[in-house]
Structure 1
Amino acid sequence: MKLTVFATTDVHGAIYPYDYFTDTDKNSSLLHIKSYIDWYKQENPEEIVLTVDNGDILQGGVWNDYDYEHRAGSMLVPKIINDLYDIIGIGNHEFNFGLDYLYTVYKEIEPVIINANVDFKDHPLKKRVLPYEILEKETSSGIIKIGFLSVVPTQIMKWDAFHLEGRLTVADMRKTVEETAAEMKAAGADMTILLSHSGLSKNPDHLRKYGENQTLLMTMVKNIDGIIFGHTHEFFPDADFEVEIGTIDFRKGTINDKPMVQPGVYASHLGMLTFEIEKKDGSWNSLDRTACLIDTREIPLTQELKNKYEPDHQKVREFLSQPIGKIEAVWHTYFSRLFPSKAVQVVAEAGKAYTEKLIQSGELESQPVLGFNAAIKAGRDGPDDFTVLEAGEVTLSEAINLYKHANSMVIIKINGATLKEWLEWSASQFNSPDETDILLKPNRSRDGFPSYNYDTFFDLDYVFDITQPPKYDSTAKLINNSSRLVEVRYRGKAVEDEEVFIVPANSYRVAYTPFLRNAEILHESQLNVRDIVIEYIKDSPDFVLSDPMTILPRGRYKISTATKAKDYITEDQQIKHLEEKGDGFSWYEINLD
């Protein structure tokens, strides 16, 4: 008897094979995955075939944005979920829109929804989300009971504190898995599959209690027969996966003899767990277990399926095509971690304009306002993971591309000392001058520094000396008693520790960052940051591009960014394309003299 479990994770709304930001067809999507699974079931009628999702499917794509704006009974993503899955778990981004919206979506979803480590207290989600599910499947040897459980990082209480604080609690993942798997075994589960919305890491900070990426610990838990994991947007099995611990068999896709898959992001891959099982002496046993990834680009898309979802696709296109303003020159984020970028700065300017209106109305006290932002899309998920707006009309689609997250606007008051720590964190994105790449990799799970944690303050002038060790890691954890910040000035004057500033921030940054958690919150907006940006662009703003940062020592450095970036180098930029790396990225020389 053969059991096959197909799995997705971190789909982030990549439903239809279309890039809505470039208006081009794509050769990967959730519809490709459904085409393959439908074909597989038809070709293998004797197998038990189940399909699961490991979370982060309800946020991150334009289909999700459409659903949020049309949540009164005409949502689109629940349709494909109902067509495809048997079980779905919960990811951290499912909480971005708040619990009430999540419940609204889940009422439209038919598959069983599971999570074992979140206690929703008295919210209706308490009854809608089960701690685990045991599916019973009839075979020629009798019924087999296949159990599924799901966990999510406890860090959701930081990332979405403004939605979740006081409304739910989250238990440690590893402990929850141990206890729940034992409970499922006692309830009769013959096999148990874990949906772990958590990455695979050796970092001690992740492996201790309440760590973020604990999946390695899950491989050591009794009563777990297979693992689907995610969250970090990486791939497993993959010989390039930088983990050397336990017993790893990349050919079979196992760690500590447990088959495991992490199928990337945006439906780029489909995970597949395969079990050869038999019933002997009244018990089900696994004779062989393997895991593999299927590249979605190699899957033929069923035209009938594409036609079925074509009307929904057109609804999304119509929704996104609304013109909201104009820009005079191209905006992009290809070099935004080193050079000024209007695609990044516009969010800061929108936040400042929103804040200054509140000051003018008397709702906020009059204090200096500092705008900041980070590049959300700057290469973390591949060479196409950048924001590009061509000159001319700006549509709603392009505005969403500037700021894709559902974070709300939170205005805080900080002093100069806190501001300096904030800048030290940003300075920590740089390697030492003798490294090949001046920038740490834009990933998040190992030793990188994701662009969305690198903030630029456009109303300041500051100098970083990168010969000094970084003070923080990418999560804002203190790692050295060092300082890269040489000086910081506001309107020409050195910033003093006791000075007071108002900062239009976002809910993620305020809740996530350790040195901001005690900041005084002056205003919590009912609007999210993206809505504020859209309204700002509608007013056709004309702001001056700011270049606040100086790097020491001066000189020429190398960085890696998309090969396409060479077409966007302007004459006034000291940037030279050196060579292609062969993966859609290239090396560039940056002159910082």
Structure 2
Amino acid sequence: MTYQLTILSTTDMHAHLSLYDYFLGTEQETNGLILAGSKIKALVEENQQKETQTVVLDNGDILQGNLIADYAADKRPERHPVMQMMNAVGYDAMTLGNHEFNYGLDYLKSTLAQAEFPVVNCNIRTVEGDYLFNPYTVIEKTFSDGETIRVGVTGVVPEQILMWDDKWLHGKVVVQDMYQTAKACAAELKKHCDVVVCLCHTGFDASLPDEDGLENQVHRISTIDDIDAIIFGHTHQLFPSDTLTADYIDGSRIHHVYAVQPASFGSHLGRIELTLKKTENGFEVESGHSEVIELKNNTVIDPALVELNETTHQAIFDYINEEIGQTEHYIDSFFSQLAPSRAVEIVARSGRRAYEKLRGDIPNLISTSAPLKAGRDGASDYVMISPGSLTIKDAISIYRFPNKLAAVKVTGKVLKEWLEWSASAFNCYSDELIVKDNQSIAPGFPSYNMDIFYELDYQIDLSVPARYNHAAVQVTDSVRIQGLTFEGRAVEPDDEFTVLTNDYRLNFTPFLKSLEGEVLDVDVRETVIEYIKEEGCDFKAAWPFRFTEDGTYRMKTSRHAEDVLLGYPARKVADAADDFIIVELNMKERNE
């Protein structure tokens, strides 16, 4: 006789709950925990009719990344909207994502204390040596014949949280290597569990080596013999899929492990189906498979979940509609990696203004900003602000992360390497598209790592390959940055500059971590709000750089960009999948 076990999972929800896009002001049924929760509840009920047992798990990053997250962190409602919804859906366990730490340990602990299910993590301890959360949990499910299966669940998160949230974690926690701790914990669980599941808030990148300390380690964790199934995430991708491949992937298995990565925001649901056989020592996995279920046009909405969210839904409107200014222009980030963008430049301007208010007139001061919303999470993941009133919602759209303003002293030599890393976001002149895929694993390059330096003038030579990969690791000896000047004079290796950035960039970037830096108690988003209130944002946006060769170059952007094409030296050349389009941008206009 065989038995069936289903493992349903979500990952990287980032507080997306509602069936409403607060930035576009429209109803939607493409993502969110109401959508995912409705499907989960329906599948659990369906499985009960088939005498299949179901375990429901979340893989972390639930507390940051959406207007609801900002509202909850700012206003502190009695019940956190995400936890309230997860309890109603009926999760069995969850692990921590890196963004869980963005608001500090006290907020994290008090919020997750509302969970009516276990929160597990095995690679974070306090400096005293205690686990921050329970390292694992054992979930028992009983079949109709009275047999009970024991499912052990543990979880891991990247060590890099110590850099990304240094201001909250320094001197308070120790984070151990994910592979080593998962291996030890799985071995312990296997002693008294039939099935071991690892919730891996880390991504898959087949190009990475087999070494400790990597940010993305699914390629290693999936080799652990005592693990039967993995839910992974962090990189907002899909698995199984045609885009994540390796010679050791067999269908839905990575090595011997059944694995799934259900994208992000609750747009997809992960499902692992295991067929088990009973032995004298318990249950044994006989076979299985995994899949991702797209939820759009494939889910009947549970009205009880909609009703549960109604108070939060109405509170969000009050929270986001506070007016902070006016604009005569459409503010967007559709072409922000190539062309002028007020949405990106205002972050650099506001940071410089705030810093000079605190520190006065600083020589050789450079302000930076990166295109944070440039399509990494779909065709709606762009800044899109219509002329008229500017509100808190728009400030959050312009700057989505709870970062602090930071300043770092660099030499001209380090500055040039920083520019080389940013220029590595591009392909070569000969490639079909000039901008790399906006992904946080190779061969992509996430737009949030592409800093633009507004006080500098420089050219980028795309006849040679990139010098760095997406994580600031040097991969070639190429030199793309040419003619680098500051205020009309050439930048020399020994020149000294103060560069304004944010705490994430300062703590994460390999060639910045050891330098003299300062993290100010100033929220970047608050500087944007104050700048809009006092200066507005109808300034003339600057072209950020030049290419060494004149020409027109193609890039992928949102279909929503068609509404503003006339404002750019650009034309649409083709439709692309998933509501994207291919446009051709005339960079010759900049070079003139």
- TM-score, normalised with respect to structure 1: 0.94
**1:488 offset after TM fit, Å?**
1.8
CA distance in 1, matches of 2:141, 2:17: 29
Pair 128,429 (structure 1): closer, same or farther in 2 beyond 3 Å:
closer
Q: What residue number does 2:224 align with?
A: 221
Q: What residue number does 2:126 align with?
A: 120
Q: How does 1:389-468 map to 2 (within 5 A)?
A: 389-468=385-464
Q: How does 1:38-437 map to 2 (within 5 A)?
A: 38-45=41-48, 46-71=51-76, 73-84=78-89, 85-122=91-128, 126=130, 129-139=133-143, 140-186=145-191, 188-205=192-209, 207-238=210-241, 240-249=242-251, 253-297=252-296, 298-360=298-360, 366-437=362-433
Question: Contact (CA 8 Å) 2:88, 2:305: kept in 1 or not?
Answer: no
Question: Contact (CA 8 Å) 2:326, 2:536: kept in 1 or not?
Answer: no
Read off the aligned partner of 2:208 and give its amino acid letter: P
Read off the aligned partner of 1:119 and give its amino acid letter: R
Pair 557,366 (structure 1): closer, same or farther in 2 beyond 3 Å:
closer
**1:113 offset after TM fit, Å?**
0.6
**1:62 offset after TM fit, Å?**
1.1
Pair 43,339 (structure 1): closer, same or farther in 2 beyond 3 Å:
same
Question: Contact (CA 8 Å) 1:556, 1:589: kept in 2 or not?
Answer: yes
**1:355 offset after TM fit, Å?**
0.6
CA distance in 2, matches of 1:328, 1:352: 23
Question: Contact (CA 8 Å) 1:263, 1:271: kept in 2 or not?
Answer: yes
Question: Contact (CA 8 Å) 2:223, 2:256: kept in 1 or not?
Answer: no
Read off the aligned partner of 1:104 and give its amino acid letter: S
Match of 2:127, SS state, is coil
Structure 1: segments with no counterpart, 5+ residues: none
CA distance in 2, matches of 1:307, 1:441: 39
Q: What residue number does 1:567 align with?
A: 563
Q: How does 1:456-535 map to 2 (within 5 A)?
A: 456-522=452-518, 524-535=519-530
- TM-score, normalised with respect to structure 2: 0.94
Question: Contact (CA 8 Å) 1:325, 1:540: kept in 2 or not?
Answer: no
Read off the aligned partner of 1:103 and give its amino acid letter: K
Q: After superposition, give the CA deviation of every residue in 1:112-146 in whole Å (9 maximum; x if it has no partner).
A: 110011112349xx566100111223332433211
The range that moved more, 524-533 or 305-314, is: 524-533
The reply to whether residue 586 of structure 1 matches residue 570 of structure 2 is no
CA distance in 2, matches of 1:420, 1:280: 63
Pair 444,310 (structure 1): closer, same or farther in 2 beyond 3 Å:
same
CA distance in 2, matches of 1:348, 1:209: 36
CA distance in 1, matches of 2:249, 2:335: 40
CA distance in 2, matches of 1:149, 1:116: 7
Read off the aligned partner of 1:529 and give its amino acid letter: V
**1:104 offset after TM fit, Å?**
2.2
| Count of matched residue positions in the alignment of Structure 1 and Structure 2 | 579
**1:504 offset after TM fit, Å?**
2.2
Q: Percent identity?
A: 34
Match of 1:473, SS state, is coil
What is the aligned-residue RMSD (CA, Å)? Answer: 1.8
**1:247 offset after TM fit, Å?**
4.5
CA distance in 2, matches of 1:90, 1:310: 27
Pair 209,282 (structure 1): closer, same or farther in 2 beyond 3 Å:
closer
Match of 1:129, SS state, is coil
**1:257 offset after TM fit, Å?**
4.1
Q: What residue number does 1:25 align with?
A: 27
Read off the aligned partner of 2:243 and give its amino acid letter: F
Question: Contact (CA 8 Å) 1:258, 1:289: kept in 2 or not?
Answer: no
Read off the aligned partner of 1:291 and give its amino acid letter: S
CA distance in 2, matches of 1:82, 1:579: 44
**1:563 offset after TM fit, Å?**
2.4
Question: Contact (CA 8 Å) 1:66, 1:75: kept in 2 or not?
Answer: no
Question: Contact (CA 8 Å) 1:136, 1:146: kept in 2 or not?
Answer: yes
CA distance in 2, matches of 1:75, 1:525: 28
The range that moved more, 29-38 or 189-198, is: 29-38
